[in-house]
A = this chain, B = another copy of it.
Amino acid sequence: MTGYTATVTVRLKAGVLDPEAETTKRALQRLDFDVEKVRRSDRFQVEFEADSPTDAEERATEMTERLLANPTIHDFDVEVDQQ
Contacts and interface: CB of A to CB of B under 8 A. Distances in A.
A68 B25 CA distance: 10
Interface string A18-57: 0001001001100101111111111111111100000000
Contacts of A68: 24
A46 B31 CA distance: 14
Query: How many copies of this chain sit in the oligomeric assembly?
Result: 2
B42 A46 contact: no
Given A27-B67, A67-B28, A46 B35 contact: yes
Interface residues of A, number: 30
A7 to B, nearest CB: 10
A3 B35 CA distance: 10
Interface of A: 3, 9, 21, 24, 27-28, 31, 33-49, 59, 62-63, 66-68
